[in-house]
Amino acid sequence: MQSLLELRHLKTLLAIREAGSLTRAAERLYLTQSALSHQIRLLEEHYGLPLFVRKQPLKLSPAGEKLVQLASEVLPRVAASERDIAKLREGEAGSLRIAVECHTCFDWLMPAMDTFRERWPEVELDIVSGFHADPVGLIFEDRADLAIVSEREDEARIAHFPLFAYDMVALVARDHPLADKPVLEATDFADETLITYPVPDDMLDLVRKVLRPAGVNPKRRTTELTVAMLQLVASRRGIAALPRWSVQHYLERGYIVAKPITTAGLTSELYAAVPQERADTAYLTEFVAITREVSLASLPGIQLITV
Amino acid sequence: MQSLLELRHLKTLLAIREAGSLTRAAERLYLTQSALSHQIRLLEEHYGLPLFVRKQPLKLSPAGEKLVQLASEVLPRVAASERDIAKLREGEAGSLRIAVECHTCFDWLMPAMDTFRERWPEVELDIVSGFHADPVGLIFEDRADLAIVSEREDEARIAHFPLFAYDMVALVARDHPLADKPVLEATDFADETLITYPVPDDMLDLVRKVLRPAGVNPKRRTTELTVAMLQLVASRRGIAALPRWSVQHYLERGYIVAKPITTAGLTSELYAAVPQERADTAYLTEFVAITREVSLASLPGIQLITV
DNA sequence: CCCAGTACATGAGCAATAGTCATTGCAATC
DNA sequence: GATTGCAATGACTATTGCTCATGTACTGGG
């Protein structure tokens, strides 16, 4: 009789539709699969109708469709109001200068910034230009408000928000001898030319986590541009290591092939670092949220970091 | 960080705005004043802003305004979706034939029916024509789907939904001797002509609850029309008893004056009676909900019946 | 066809929290 | 300055939403 429906349910429904399964939706919502299962069972009992057709993959019933439709109209509206309230409290304006150490990050950074700009038009949005070895340092110098980094720094004045994790893959030419191996180990790199961005070794996960510990030190070559890097790989001038999502496009066209790095895999993570005292500034936390949404939706094969 | 806001809160906010106070909003929501107070305190802590200006009467702050605005957009949308789902389950169509024993009820019945028609256009809506002494009987004969009655009947096959309660007032001419008494008792009616609708005495609360128990049996006169009744009262041809809300309009113009009946007051109640097995048919329960909303908003001085 | 692998369902138990009750605090009004 | 009408507060309780552990159903590969 009384309505049972809450915004929580709408969030769940939408997450299930987007993720395509209870299990993955649960991850996004930081809940268990069981919690979601209970939630929808309760809704189904309440409405006396199924919300899903229980098949793999889970499909929405007409009633489920109605609720998801509702969710997709209502939730953005609610988010907008909560944003308005944050603006009342903190003011519309502010600055968001982003420091980036990761070359490939621009792939998702641009769309994320676009969405952000729509929602916080008064916030001055910038990427701190030029390359910087120590993006967190820029925060201390007050030249940046937020830094995209690949490791948490042990520094009390900085708060870290996890963005996502992803696998690095080694890239070799199709006709390269290593293309036949299922997995590349550190020693496989010894006699190759490793092509990287021109950054310190500490910022290259492959070197820091795999090659250096194994004492492997291959010949090196650098380039600023990802396409140039792939070009060199394709023409057998060397091999490279990049996030899988950054090269998915090229892999599908068969220019090059990707190989896992070590049997355990080489997983990297990304965090947003902000000054501790600004950790609950609404537009900063929202930038993080947008980043995760955009990335989750557009980058294949990335994982959430469970805090 | 995580959003705390739920539909529950939006319902509360809207109820407070409509009722003008926590206490009355709480009644409508079947909660305590305390519950609402806790709710809004939590919201205020969460947003770090006040939602109300703490004065009598309670006024919304800008942040509160935003949320109420949100509520007034979102909640009707949610209700519409839930209605759609009910239609999926039970079908769009059906019939709602309403039996009424109370003459004045048409005052609120018409606007309620209008709202209902918008939301359930496929349901065949009718008032069972002619006057009927036993509206519940019409349900058994399947000539009505819902009856408006003033007493619960002890009958297992019928479910009763409380609508609202209201005070009956005695109406006398301005220059009538009784106009000076603060309260009329049963004996005051003895030497007057009582003007009523032409219905059995059992359906006249004044007779059933006050006069008959006191053994008072005044002269009688009947008329079908409320205006005619008031005309007779104004010209000192008799006195009448009607719900206060049905004559508020005329009282304000000073044609007649209203007096409480007995010191304890004469309170009447209205219920919607439906067949037990249809007690959770969506369009029937919604008709009840609409009726209460419409009445609460438009009839002065009515009270909710706390089940 | 079986068996692993993956995903959803279910039930018991627990922890968070939304609500009530009883009281206090605060204003406005006579 | 009492009285009345509301809202706020705090302690306690009931509810319920979630997790954990397990069960069961569906899929795809050998």
Closest residue to D20 by CA to C1' distance? A34
Give one DSSP letter per residue of chain A, joined into a string. Answer: ------HHHHHHHHHHHHHSSHHHHHHHHTS-HHHHHHHHHHHHHHHTS-SEE-SSSPEE-HHHHHHHHHHHHHHHHHHHHHHHHHHHHH-S-EEEEEEE--GGGHHHHHHHHHHHHHH-TTEEEEEPPS--S-HHHHHHTTS-SEEEESS----TTEEEEEEEEEEEEEEEETTSGGGG-SSB-GGGGTTSEEEE-SS-GGG-HIIIIIITTTT---EEEE-S-HHHHHHHHHTTS-EEEEEHHHHHHHHHTTSEEEEEBSTT-EEEEEEEEEEGGGTT-HHHHHHHHHHHHHHHHHSTT-B----
CATH of the domain at A289: 3.40.190.10
Q: Whole-angstrom Cα distance, residue A239 to residue A124?
A: 40
Give the nearest nucleotide to A56, CA to C1': D26
- B216 pLDDT above the threshold of 70: yes
- B268 pLDDT above the threshold of 80: yes
- A191 pLDDT above the threshold of 80: yes
Q: Which of B49, B88, B285 is opposite residue A62, by nearest beta carbon?
A: B88
Same domain for A72 and A13, yes or no, is yes
Which of B88, B123, B149 is where one domain is finished? B88
CB atoms under 10 Å from CB of B78, counted, come to: 23
Give the pLDDT of residue A132: 75
CATH of the domain at B49: 1.10.10.10
Q: What is the pLDDT averaged over residues B22-43?
A: 96
Give the pLDDT of residue B307: 60
Give the pLDDT of residue A196: 95
3-class SS at B280?
coil
Give the nearest nucleotide to B6, CA to C1': C18
* DSSP secondary structure code for residue B267 in this structure: E
Same domain for A286 and A255, yes or no, is no
Give the pLDDT of residue B253: 83
Q: Which of A49, A66, A85 is opposite residue B81, by nearest beta carbon?
A: A66
Domain assignment of residue B187, given as a range: 165-267
Give the pLDDT of residue A129: 75
Is the bond preceding residue B260 a cis peptide, omega within 30 degrees? Answer: no
Nucleotides of C under 7 A from a protein CB: 7-12, 18-22, 27-28
Taking only the tens place, the pLDDT of each residue in B123-149 is 999 999 776 778 899 999 999 999 999
For residue A8, give the chain B residue with the closest CA. B6
More confidently predicted of A203 and B65: B65
Instruction: Looking at the complex, report in whole angstroms how far the Cα of residue B12 sits from the nearest Cα belonging to chain A.
Output: 13
Angle, CA of B104, B110 and B115, to the nearest 5°: 145
With respect to residue A304, please indicate whether it lies within any of the assigned structural domains.
no
- A307 pLDDT above the threshold of 70: no
Same domain for A21 and A170, yes or no, is no
- B300 pLDDT above the threshold of 80: yes
Question: How long a stretch of residues is chain A?
Answer: 307
Q: Whole-angstrom Cα distance, residue B71 to residue B133?
A: 43
Q: What is the pLDDT averaged over residues A80-96?
A: 96
Q: Locate A287 and state its tokens.
A: 């930038």
Same domain for A177 and A253, yes or no, is yes
With respect to residue B256, please indicate whether it lies within any of the assigned structural domains.
yes
Q: In chain B, what residues touch A88 (CB-CB under 8 Å)?
A: 49, 62-63, 66
Taking only the tens place, the pLDDT of each residue in B33-67 is 999 999 999 999 999 999 999 887 889 999 999 99
Taking only the tens place, the pLDDT of each residue in B162-198 is 999 999 999 999 989 998 888 899 999 999 999 999 9
Same domain for B169 and B263, yes or no, is yes
Same domain for B84 and B133, yes or no, is no
Tokens 């250096």, located at residue: A212
Long-range contacts made by residues B300-303, C-beta under 8 angstroms, separation at least 24? B300/B244, B300/B245, B300/B248, B301/B166, B301/B167, B301/B244, B301/B245, B301/B248, B302/B164, B302/B165, B302/B166, B302/B245, B303/B164, B303/B165, B303/B166
With respect to residue B68, please indicate whether it lies within any of the assigned structural domains.
yes
- A56 pLDDT above the threshold of 80: no
Same domain for A152 and A275, yes or no, is yes
Give the pLDDT of residue B274: 97
Q: Give residue A93's pLDDT band: very low, low, confident or very high (50, 70, 90).
A: very high
Which of B88, B113, B142 is where one domain is finished? B88
Which of B88, B106, B139 is where one domain is finished? B88
Q: In chain A, what residues touch B47 (CB-CB under 8 Å)?
A: 82, 85-86, 89
What is the bridge-based pairing of β-strands B158-173 and B193-196? unpaired
Q: How far in angstroms lies nucleotide C29's C1' from the CA of residue B45?
A: 33
Give the pLDDT of residue B157: 94
Give the pLDDT of residue B188: 92
Nucleotides of D under 7 A from a protein CB: 6-11, 17-22, 26-28
User: Most B CBs within 10 Å: which of A78, A87, A307, as the mutation test of the B interface?
Assistant: A78
With respect to residue A46, please indicate whether it lies within any of the assigned structural domains.
yes
3-class SS at B76?
helix
Instruction: Looking at the complex, report in whole angstroms how far the Cα of residue A70 sits from the nearest Cα belonging to chain B.
Output: 7
Q: Whole-angstrom Cα distance, residue B44 to residue A289?
A: 23
Q: How far in angstroms lies nucleotide C3's C1' from the CA of residue A27?
A: 28
- A223 pLDDT above the threshold of 80: yes
Give the nearest nucleotide to A31, CA to C1': D18
Q: Locate B49 and state its tokens.
A: 């802003």
Same domain for B158 and B290, yes or no, is yes
**φ, ψ (nearest 5 deg) of residue A53:** -90, 120
Domain count, chain B: 3
What is the bridge-based pairing of β-strands B59-60 and B94-100? unpaired
A35 touches strand D (CB under 7 A): yes
Same domain for B45 and B187, yes or no, is no
Q: Which helix (H) or strand (E) holds B124?
A: strand B123-127
Give residue ranges of B with CB < 8 Å to any A CB: 1, 3, 5-8, 47-49, 62-63, 66-67, 69-70, 73-74, 77-78, 81-82, 84-86, 88-89, 280, 285
Same domain for B79 and B101, yes or no, is no
B67–A81 CB contact, under 8 Å? yes
- B103 pLDDT above the threshold of 70: yes
B59 touches strand D (CB under 7 A): no
Decide: A68 and A260 in contact? Cβ < 8 Å.
no
Taking only the tens place, the pLDDT of each residue in A236-280 is 999 999 999 999 888 888 889 999 898 888 999 999 999 999 999
With respect to residue B220, please indicate whether it lies within any of the assigned structural domains.
yes
3-class SS at B18?
helix
Q: What is the pLDDT averaged over residues B72-91?
A: 97
Give one DSSP letter per residue of A171-240, joined into a string. Answer: EEETTSGGGG-SSB-GGGGTTSEEEE-SS-GGG-HIIIIIITTTT---EEEE-S-HHHHHHHHHTTS-EE
| Alpha-carbon distances, residue B109 vs A30, A98, A102, A195, B127 (angstroms) | 49, 62, 68, 80, 10
Q: Give residue A168's pLDDT band: very low, low, confident or very high (50, 70, 90).
A: very high
Q: How far in angstroms lies nucleotide C17's C1' from the CA of residue A302?
A: 35
Give the pLDDT of residue A97: 97
With respect to residue B304, please indicate whether it lies within any of the assigned structural domains.
no
Same domain for B211 and B235, yes or no, is yes
Give the pLDDT of residue A249: 83
Give the pLDDT of residue A301: 84
- B306 pLDDT above the threshold of 90: no
Same domain for A173 and A263, yes or no, is yes
With respect to residue A181, please indicate whether it lies within any of the assigned structural domains.
yes
With respect to residue B171, please indicate whether it lies within any of the assigned structural domains.
yes
